[in-house]
A and B are shown apart, each in its own frame.
Chain A
Amino acid sequence: MSQEELAIESQALAAAALLGLPLAPAHLPGVVASLKVAAGAAAFIGRVPLSPVDEPDR
């Protein structure tokens, strides 16, 4: 597992605990893989410059 994946797994376990969401060990690799894709998407849109008046869509 890469450093990035280890970090994602650690974050996932912490967030799941906060949410009261049990994560079965068998499901964890798939969850990490999906979060890795989501992190890539978040990084991609994170590069879009936004001004304070750019409001969220509704």
Chain B
Amino acid sequence: MSAAQLADAIRGGRQSAVAATAQALANVTARNPALNAFTTVTADRALAEAAAVDATVAAGRDPGTLAGVPVAVKNLFDLEGVTTRAGAALRGEAPPAKADAFVIARLRAAGAVIIGATNMDEFAFGFTTENSHDGPTRNPHDLTRVAGGSSGGSAAAVASGMVPLAIGTDTNGSIRVPAALCGVFGLKPSFGRLSRRGAFPFVASLDHVGSFARDVTDLALIYDAMQGFDAADPAQARRPPESGISALSQGIDGLRIATLGGHFAEGGHAEAFAAASLAAQQLGATHIVVPSLAAEGRAAALLITLAEGASVHLHDLRARPGAFDPLTRDRLLSGALLPAQWVIQAQRVRAMWRAAMLRLFFDHDLLIAPCVPFVAQPIGTAMIEVAGRLVPARPQLGWFTQPISAIGLPAMSVPLADPTAAGAPQGLPVAVQLIAPPWREDILFRAAGTLARASFAASPSPKDFR
């Protein structure tokens, strides 16, 4: 049952929120040991929230658009009474959060039920959720493979059917990458769209809050619920809520759509480009545009990530570097040592890259690109062959996503219903990335809704978690 169907049944009194929550908790108990998607299960809280939803319905009031819908939360979001781990052992002794993160409060106001917190790369610095403290999250489509990251636990929780919805963050691709590898929809809204208050920071100038769903309608539902102005987030723009749900059925008539070439036509395996090509055919996009400075934009994102990330953690890097995950520590240490000129140059190039992409949007409303360069690889894969060259596998996962988040454009990972159509090895999930101008998430939903209605886009069911 989708989130929309479940919420409708609960609001109509045909289904109890407590019963739905109990079922979700039972699913977590049964499935999580194999997947390691959840690091904390908030059963008492969830059942209390569900009981409140049922009481609201019984009183004849509307509990909200997400009434009784179980939601999983990346473990960098504050949950009142729970220590915000951010995937890090060194935060294990941090005091419990005093309040929910802003978007959690928004979800609760819409009637959602928070089931628990999910696994991630330490401090969100990774693309695979191979967390050395909590263990790797496993891909529901093949338990020997990574789920992607850094919001891998959230993606796996949704893909495996433990919950219909989850939230995460995306700094360089941390929603879009795991969504693609796990075969679910993932939305990274415009930079500044959703409040980040109560989300443990990674890179302040690149961090975005977003969400996962198996159904594009559900993705719109949770996106709409999370919107709202929060003066406490200095990066959030003061914009009115702009509905994803109302855009879903609008179709793509009048949209000028193209496929990105250049950087976006290299750096991956055949299935990545086939997925983009098939989506372009479905959406009637017949020409390719080549933006300048995309690779430079990605390089700039790396330098900014290293420098800003290191700044957040400088105290702990000095005091207890051994407490960090080795995959994180050395990169953060290096980030603290970058010459200032490298970082300033990166910010100047980033501005030029932004200008180049905004110029493309004079003539286009939607751009199509691959989302990840290859399907999920076995856990522990360090190197991979791309175009005849061995490259580090983990950073390569951000090849197509980093340039886009570097300039804050809204983007969506849209899974192919039939990955074999793109030649995906072993039929593993593959996705396409839809990219829109700033603040035009509605265009993403129009296109994704069109792809879903054509049965081109859907979340493929993992054979072991149906």
Contact = CB atoms under 8 A, between A and B. Distances in A.
Q: Do A and B bind each other?
A: yes
Interface of A: 11-12, 15-16, 19-24, 27, 30-31, 33-35, 37-38, 41-42, 44-46, 48, 50, 54-58
A6 B411 CA distance: 41
A35 to B, nearest CB: 5
A58 B348 CA distance: 9
Dominant SS among interface residues on chain A: helix
A22 B317 CA distance: 8
B306 A19 contact: no
Interface in B328-349: 329-331, 333-339, 342, 344-349
Contact of B352 (A19, A23, A48): A48
A35 B306 CA distance: 10
B326 interface: yes
B458 to A, nearest CB: 37
Contacts of B346: 41-42, 45
Top 8 A-B residue pairs of the complex, sorted by shortest distance between their CB atoms: A30-B330, A56-B347, A34-B334, A41-B299, A57-B351, A42-B342, A57-B350, A15-B337
Dominant SS among interface residues on chain B: helix
Interface in B346-394: 346-352, 354
A31 B335 CA distance: 9
B306 A38 contact: yes
B295 interface: yes
A44 B295 contact: yes
B352 A30 contact: no
B318 A20 contact: yes
B12 interface: no
B74 to A, nearest CB: 24
Contact of B299 (A31, A45, A55): A45
Contacts of A37: 302, 395
A37 B303 CA distance: 10
Q: Choose among B326, B334, B351 the residue with the greatest number of A CB atoms under 10 Å from its CB.
A: B334
A57 to B, nearest CB: 4
Nearest to A49: B352
10 contacts: A15-B337, A16-B336, A16-B337, A33-B330, A34-B333, A38-B335, A41-B303, A48-B349, A55-B348, A57-B351
B20 interface: no
B296 interface: yes
Contacts of B350: 56-57
What size tier do the contact residues of chain B reach?
Answer: 35 or more
B300 interface: yes
Contact of B348 (A21, A35, A56): A56
Q: Choose among B314, B337, B395 the residue with the greatest number of A CB atoms under 10 Å from its CB.
A: B337
A44 B299 contact: yes
B339 to A, nearest CB: 8
Contact of B296 (A20, A33, A48, A55): A48
B334 A54 contact: no
Contact of B349 (A19, A31, A45): A45
Contacts of B337: 11-12, 15-16, 19, 21, 31, 35
B352 A38 contact: no
Q: Choose among A27, A50, A57 the residue with the greatest number of B CB atoms under 10 Å from its CB.
A: A57
Contacts of A34: 306, 330-331, 333-335
A18 to B, nearest CB: 9
B241 interface: no
B293 A48 contact: yes
Contacts of B352: 48, 50, 54
Q: Choose among A12, A33, A38 the residue with the greatest number of B CB atoms under 10 Å from its CB.
A: A38
Nearest to B307: A38
A31 B330 CA distance: 5
B336 A27 contact: no
Contact of A21 (B296, B318, B344, B345): B318
A50 to B, nearest CB: 6
A30 B326 contact: yes
Given A24-B321, A34-B306, A57-B407, 19 more contacts: A21-B318, A21-B333, A23-B333, A30-B330, A31-B337, A34-B333, A35-B338, A37-B395, A42-B303, A42-B338, A44-B299, A45-B299, A45-B345, A46-B345, A48-B296, A48-B352, A54-B351, A56-B347, A56-B351
A45 B317 contact: no
A40 B43 CA distance: 48
B300 A56 contact: no
Contacts of B329: 27, 30
B322 interface: yes
Contact of B302 (A22, A41, A55, A56): A41
A44 B352 CA distance: 14
A56 B355 CA distance: 12
Contacts of B345: 42, 45-46, 48, 50
